[in-house]
A and B are shown apart, each in its own frame.
Chain A
Amino acid sequence: MAAWDLSVTVEDLGSDAPPVTLSVDSGLHVGGVILKLVEKTQIKRDWSDHALWWEQKQRWLLRTAWTLDKYGIHADARLVFMPQHKPLRLGLPNGITLRLRACFSSSVFQTVMGICRMLNIRHPEELSLLQPVEEKKKKKDKNSAEEIYDLTEVPLSSASRPCLYNGMPAHFADSPQMEAIYKMLSVTQPPPAPEVIAKQYRAASVVDKAHIHGRWLDSSRCLLQQGIQENSRLWLRFKYFAFYDMEPKYDVVRLTQLYEQARWAILLEDIDCTEEEMMLFGALQYHISKVSQSEPQMLSSSAAMDDLESALQSLEVKMEGESSSASEMLENMTAPELNDYLKIFRPKRMTLKGYKQYWFKFQDTSISYFKSKEESIGEPIQQINLKGCEVAPDVNVTAQKFLIRLLIPAPEGMNEVYLRCENEQQYAQWMAGCRLASKGKSLADSSFQSEIQSIRSFLAMQKTSSGTHGNAPANDESINTHSLVSPRYHKKYKAKQLTPRILDAYQNVAQLSLTDAVMRFLQIWQALPDFGLSYVVVRFKGSRKDEVLGIGPNRLIRIDLAVGDVVKTWRYNNMKQWNVNWDIRQVAIEFEGNINIAFACVTADCKIVHEFIGGYIFMSTRSRAKSDTLNEELFHKLTGGHEAL
């Protein structure tokens, strides 16, 4: 066989180095080429990760046993010899950029699996890579200042499950730096400064959102084939909103990142919610950031001690000291009280009277008041049971106004009662008591102290935000409430006005543990009507205008662009088949009952739509196939398109 010259660029020699020329024949297999090449470079190193890339055909020559002939390589082929794993700048859902080595030669699906393995994220099939929105190049200098966490030194492993050390993959236990990275991955980030939120790109319309979804990488092709170069920036995001088998115990990183993605989706109004929901999200963010600072590991189960259990123990102690009588024990278990002079006002009654001062006693879940302290032994003037009542704050720290507004249910309706406290201290205690009582808990409840604390810290927030704005020291006591809501509300409310509203929502979540709070956040997010929809602008067959196709975890919806209304919903479980005509780039779907739809995609390649549909169908098969191993082949079959055939 005739020998001919094959020129191969060896990346490691530098971009200026001339290609290495090898004398080969067509019967030589790829492995042989590599061997010759390595010998010729005279460099001794580990070449095992290197492979040949055929530039014109945009393909890797990974089958070392194939001959050049079989690959169809001739003398004009430009080959590049380079490592299969290259560094990538990966934007995580929490907004932090990570530098790591990713596989450029296998399908993106496998590349994501590898990344997730490294980061300890289970169920990598739910994530994928997204080309980021171009940043405005104005502030280049600022980009360079961005802190980048480097994971490129992590050895590549092929083990399907990383071995865990101290609950984290072993490679994170190597050094304090690595541990810091793991902490960044597994602990939620503090609330971003309001300016940061305002500066971020926000999709203003459904069409904008559709454009973002046109940036998903193709799962069945490799990075290099999709024009991704070494050190490119990509976003790692949850793509399929069908989260399977969430287990806080094993999914620390996964949950944290999912929470971050959800949080940003809310803050940037990527998903719409109502004002009330926004306040609740804000309250949860506040709570999560507060708790994650005090409670470093998410793993610790903060199951509150069973009150019976604790009661048992205290009783046991009692029983050991022989002389305890039942009444003594009872005494020991009775709830603490609050006693103080407060002012009361009932707006519904004669307004003229104004606030009147009485001696108040807070016991169990009720408030009683007396003319004076001296008369507090007798019958109270009135006793008010707060169980089931609504409690609202009316506070202005600068004006020293500390009002508790109570809406107390009675058979005839709700009675409004205002309690006026003298100072912060008093207010925090009584407010905390009212809050607990409204939920039927007494002052003896273990959460009483923490409730007082959180009320105080909210008061503190009001102080700082009313003082010199901005640049307040970023300790946990003083979070700017604008950090917790989307920019829309920055305009609508001053931080001072937001505080009470968030505090209001906060009282319902203040008792949650970190994990529970994160889960609650995710649940509320998932319960939003538009949750999980990915949009694509399409042109339906026979229609002359652009419409939007929303792809959800269990359905497709057709949205009229002009009105924004959902026109039609099709569910996957009624779907008989879907086809893509790759020549005319048209997706055709048939549903039960002879319903056929077909559309061409405008803002995204039809492969993306195809992959979304196939991907969701794949996700729904997971519960049935209970095995732990990911059925990659099935995923490829469902999403690969013509390449899979």
Chain B
Amino acid sequence: MDDIDAMFTDLLGEMDLLTQSLGQETVPPAPLPSTDKEVNYSIGYADLNESLNELEDCDLDALMADLVADLNATEEKFAAQKEVLKVPSLPPPDLPPPPKGLSTHPASSLASPASPASSTSSNVSTPASSTASPLPPPPPQVPKPTKEEMEANIKADKIKLALEKLKEAKVKKLVVKVLMNDGSSKTLMVDERQTVREVLDNLFEKTHCDCNVDWSLVETNPDLQLERTFEDHENLVEPLSAWTRDSENKVLFQERGEKYEVFKNPQNFYLWKKDKNALKDMKDKDKELLIQENFCGTSIIVPDLEGVMHLKEDGKKSWKPRLFQLRASGIYYVPKGKTKSSRDLICFVQFDNVNVYYGKDFKGKYKAPTDFCFFLKHPQIQKESQYIKYLCCDDAWSMNLWVTGIRIAKYGASLYENYKTAEKAAVSSVWTNRSSSTPSSSNPSTPSPTIKAKSPSQANGHAPKPQQGPVSVDFGNVPPPPPPPPLSVFPHPTPPLAAKSSSKPAAPQRHLPTNFPPPPPAMDLLPPPPPPPNEDDALEAPPDFLPPPPPAIGFGSLPPPPTFNSPPLPPPPVSFRGVDQSLPPPPPDPGFLPPPPPQPMFTGAGAPPPPPPPPPPAAVPRAAIRPSGSVKKMPPAPPKRTTPSLQGGDGGDFMSELMLAMNKKRVH
């Protein structure tokens, strides 16, 4: 524990530094495209402050959000552990009696010590929060731990926490500026464990783009006039670390059709020798078959490419034509006077240590025969060098063929995995976008009637949301919460969902700082539910239990289940001992929160994000509370998110402490 304390103080120290650099701005200025190109990135923790100084204010805010989320996570873990240590029934002394939705929290955390920690850790793993993502999977919840079990749990948690911390200390983080299509830019903090996919999801969240599979992060290097689309499974930090200090390299956020073209039109790559017209109207079934054949067998099959390309030989200026062949093991060429038989082929390059890049305007720069050039180099090479292998194709079509073929040979199955993940993200984003738009529109308007009217017209997928809207509204509106009877209506609790949703709470925290001052605007900022892709399992799981759109939502960021819980809780106060007392009656909440009327309801509901873990003692009531019905209704959550965050789910106290600390700094 001491160590943890020490670590925490360290973190606080960092916070202080940050706040100093923050200065006085509380209101984020409108984001401006950055003017100084030089500050594209910085390396390592040590540079953080330095780079922070150079960032625009809005970026700072975003970073602060991230950091605060980190801190929260730590705090929460810390708190959770302390709780565990104490006698179960007593509310942790450290925690002031939670005034808000929090009240439910202690009970649950007590029951299953592991769960709070796990929920935080999952928080952290959300892309935006740049903290420890690879955290060990949360230990299964223990219903009624015996003493030994408890101790074991505690120990395990401690160890885990310590390990996390140790790992954390070593994690490299970069502040990356990503250029958007419109010339603006976004700045994010990326830690070295994050994959490009996670960063993309993060960007989806920040940009409201359509999230289709073509969205990519692209690296450019003006010295080499190169362009490369990062593969989704790569870690972003690694290639960026190879950039030189004075580099003018950039990271772009763009739609790149060629990225997954091979999965959309596999025939163009695998049957390229065939008549192009015949390929155009290939049936989907046949495309599917091609993908199956080449990507789903025991071995990944590389397109059978062969053709003349011009090669710029090592260090020379001239381009010479050669007959090249692509094989899974590398690119080969046919030596002069020899046959094309495999045994005579000379290896030109193997793919283990090189990446493939598109070259831009090589006709001008290197006097290439055409502008359709690509080259292969070690990712660390940043300047012209004889170790770069330049190739020039006759046309764009064959260039794409080769580059894609090389990517297939190099990345193999990962490429297809990436595509499937991207597709899922795209699909879920459709749902989430819709969902988020529905609630937000409905929020301002008067609650129940309109929504109800809408719901029937919606597709089944959407149905859940509208429904939910009304329901939650009902609870909120009616000061005396719904009587017990309705509760009993929902017979089957759906624990799995609830468990999953536990990841949700994290998201809100993250946004806290940013959103805090002006709640309403924050809503806009709030991207739809955080991208599910974060955790693969989560991704895959959703379809199973919720067929319609909810999957994305459920997982995503929505704190739904908990939300629901709290409103119902009040009604059966008698049954819960301490818990209900702590639960403020719904009305207080609204007063507390500035947001519009409908929201308060949500807030009240959303407030207790932490509770995910089902409190064992309250089993019976819980069942009632978490009716399957509630699950369906959950969707409305997105809007609430903002509010919950305000309350700082886990520990409003920590948050406020932090804020206090920050304010102090500002004052000074």
- B residues 262-302 with Cβ under 8 Å of A? 271, 273, 278, 286, 289, 293, 297-302
Residue of B nearest to A439 (CB): B352
Verify if A21 is at the interface (C-beta below 8 Å from B).
no
A318 vs chain B, min Cβ distance (A): 9
With both beta carbons as reference points, the residue of chain A lying nearest to B135 in the complex is identified as A308
Task: Give B215-230 as 1s and 0s: 1 = Cβ < 8 Å from A's Cβ atoms.
Answer: 0000000000000000
Whether, in the assembled complex, B94 has its beta carbon less than 8 Å from a beta carbon of chain A, the answer is: no
Question: Which residues does chain A contribute within 8 Å of B304, judged by CB atoms?
Answer: 529
Q: In the complex, are the beta carbons of B3 and A274 less than 8 A apart? A: no
| Residues on the A chain within 8 Å of B286, using CB | 573
State A280–B329 Cα separation when bound (angstroms): 10
Contact between B299 and A523 (Cβ–Cβ < 8 Å)?
yes
Number of A interface residues in the complex (CB < 8 A)? 48
Segment at the interface with B among A6-14, A91-99, A404-412, A441-449: A404-412
In this complex, which of A243, A274, A276, A488 has the most chain B Cβ atoms within 10 angstroms of its Cβ? Answer: A274
Check if B329 sits within 8 Å of A276, measured CB to CB. yes
Tell me the chain B residues, 292-328 only, with Cβ under 8 Å from chain A. 293, 297-302, 304, 327-328
Decide: B381 and A272 in contact? CB cutoff 8 A. no
Query: Complex formed: what's the CA distance from A134 to B634 in Å?
Result: 75
Alpha-carbon gap, A276 to B329, bound state (A): 8
Chain B, Cβ-Cβ closest to A555: B293
B327 and A412: CB pair below 8 A?
no
Q: Is B382 within 8 A of A246, CB to CB?
A: no
* Beta-carbon contact of A413 and B385 below 8 Å: yes
Given known pairs A312-B163, A411-B244, A524-B328, the reply for A273 and B299 (CB within 8 Å) is no
A326 to B158, CA, bound (A): 12
Chain B residues with Cβ below 8 Å from A412 are 381-383, 385
Q: Is B166 an interface residue (CB 8 A)?
A: yes
> Given A325-B3, A411-B381, does the pair A275, B352 have CB atoms closer than 8 Å?
no
Nearest residue (CB) in B for A319 is B159
Verify if B162 is at the interface (C-beta below 8 Å from A): yes
Instruction: Tell me the residues in window 394-421 of chain A with beta carbons closer than 8 Å to chain B beta carbons.
Output: 409-414
CB-CB contacts of A317-361 with B at 8 A, as 1s and 0s? Answer: 001000001100110010000000000000000000000000000
The size of the chain B interface, using a CB distance under 8 A, is: 52
- When C-beta atoms are compared, the residue in chain B nearest to A388 turns out to be B380
Residue contact A593 to B289, C-beta cutoff 8 Å: no
Please determine whether A411 and B159 come into contact, CB atoms closer than 8 angstroms. Answer: no
B378 within 8 A of A: yes
Partner of A276, one of B293, B299, B350: B350
Kindly list 18 other residue pairs between chains A and B, CB separation below 8 angstroms, not including A411-B383, A524-B328: A246-B298, A274-B342, A276-B347, A308-B136, A319-B159, A329-B162, A412-B381, A412-B383, A413-B385, A414-B378, A526-B297, A527-B299, A527-B302, A529-B327, A530-B342, A564-B340, A573-B286, A573-B289
Asked whether, in the complex, the Cβ of A274 is within 8 Å of the Cβ of B163, the reply is: no
**Interface contact A329-B166, CB-CB below 8 Å:** yes
Assess whether A410 is in contact with B159, with CB atoms less than 8 Å apart: no
CB-based contact A414/B300 at 8 Å: no
Contacts of B160 in A (CB 8 A): 312
With a cutoff of 8 Å between Cβ atoms, the chain B residues found around residue A560 in the complex are: none
Residues on A with C-beta less than 8 A from B340 are: 564-565
Q: Is A554 an interface residue (CB 8 A)?
A: yes
Q: B242 interface residue, CB < 8 Å from A?
A: yes
Residue B343 CB within 8 A of the other chain: yes
**B386 contacts chain A at the CB level, 8 A cutoff:** yes
B275 to chain A, nearest CB (A): 9
A530 to B327: give the CA distance in the assembly, Å: 11
- Report how far A585 CA is from B383 CA in the complex, Å: 65
Q: Which residues of B lie under 8 Å from residue A414 when comparing CB positions?
A: 378, 381, 385, 387
Does B667 lie at the interface of the complex (its beta carbon under 8 Å from any beta carbon of A)? no
Chain B residues near A (Cβ < 8 Å): 3, 6-7, 136, 155, 158-160, 162-163, 165-166, 242, 244, 271, 273, 278, 286, 289, 293, 297-302, 304, 327-330, 332, 339-343, 345, 347, 350, 352-353, 378-383, 385-388
Which residues of B are found within 8 Å of A276, using beta-carbon distances?
329-330, 347, 350
Please, how many angstroms separate the alpha-carbon atoms of A287 and B226 in the complex? 39
| Given A410-B380, A411-B383, A573-B289: A315 touches B163 (CB 8 Å cut-off) | yes
Instruction: Tell me how far the C-beta of B132 lies from the nearest C-beta in chain A, rounded to whole angstroms.
Output: 12
The answer to whether B329 and A277 have CB atoms under 8 Å apart is yes
Distance in angstroms between the alpha carbons of A311 and B163 in the assembled complex:
8
- Measured CB to CB, the nearest residue on chain A to B409 is A527
A131 to B278 Cα, complex, angstroms: 42
Q: Is A546 an interface residue (CB 8 A)?
A: no
Closest chain B residue, CB of each to CB of A273: B342
Cβ A526 vs Cβ B299 within 8 A: yes
* Nearest chain A residue, comparing its CB with the CB of B285: A573
Instruction: Determine the distance from Cα of A315 to Cα of B301 in the docked complex, in whole angstroms.
Output: 44
Q: Is residue A177 within 8 Å, beta carbon to beta carbon, of the partner chain?
A: no
Whether A410 pairs with B329 at a CB distance below 8 angstroms is: no
**Contact, CB under 8 Å: B339 / A564:** yes
A390 contacts chain B at the CB level, 8 A cutoff? yes
Closest B residue to A271 by CB, please name it: B342
In the assembled complex, which residues on chain A have CB atoms less than 8 Å from the CB atom of B379? 388, 409
Which of B297, B302, B379 has most chain A Cβ within 10 Å? B297
Interface flags for A296-326 (1: CB within 8 Å of B; 0: not) read 0000000000001001100110010000011
Docked complex Cα distance between A319 and B158 (Å): 9
Knowing A272-B342, A274-B329, A315-B159, say if A523 contacts B298 (CB, 8 Å).
yes
Q: Across the interface, do B343 and A273 meet the contact criterion of CB distance under 8 Å?
A: yes
Q: Assuming the A-B contacts A529-B342, A564-B341, are A413 and B386 also in contact, with contact meaning beta carbons closer than 8 angstroms in the complex?
A: yes
Q: Which residues of chain B come closer than 8 Å to A561, judged between CB atoms? A: none
Pair B380/A409 contact, Cβ less than 8 Å: yes
Assess the B343–A274 pair: CB atoms within 8 A: yes
Q: Separation in Å of the B240 CB from the closest CB of chain A?
A: 13
CB–CB A524/B381 < 8 A:
no
Cα distance A308–B136 in the bound complex, in angstroms = 8
Query: Nearest-CB distance from B333 to chain A (Å)?
Result: 11
Measured CB to CB, the nearest residue on chain A to B352 is A508
**In the bound complex, CA of A534 to CA of B350 (Å):** 29
Whether A326 pairs with B339 at a CB distance below 8 angstroms is no
Show 15 A/B contacts (Cβ-Cβ < 8 Å), sorted by A. A272-B342, A274-B329, A274-B345, A276-B350, A308-B163, A312-B159, A312-B163, A316-B155, A319-B155, A326-B3, A409-B380, A411-B244, A412-B385, A528-B342, A530-B342
Task: Please determine whether B347 and A527 come into contact, CB atoms closer than 8 angstroms.
Answer: no
Q: Kindly state whether residue A460 has any CB partner on chain B within 8 Å.
A: no
| Chain A residue at minimal CB-CB distance from B292 | A623
Nearest A residue to B245, CB-CB: A411
Report the minimal beta-carbon distance from B652 to chain A, rounded to whole angstroms: 30
A23 neighbours in B (Cβ, 8 Å)? none
Of the listed residues A243, A525, A571, the one surrounded by the most CB atoms of chain B closer than 10 A to its CB is A571
> Which residues of A are found within 8 Å of B352, using beta-carbon distances?
508
CB of A522 closer than 8 Å to a CB of B? yes
Shortest distance from the beta carbon of B514 to any chain A beta carbon, whole Å: 33
Name the CB-closest residue of A to B332: A274
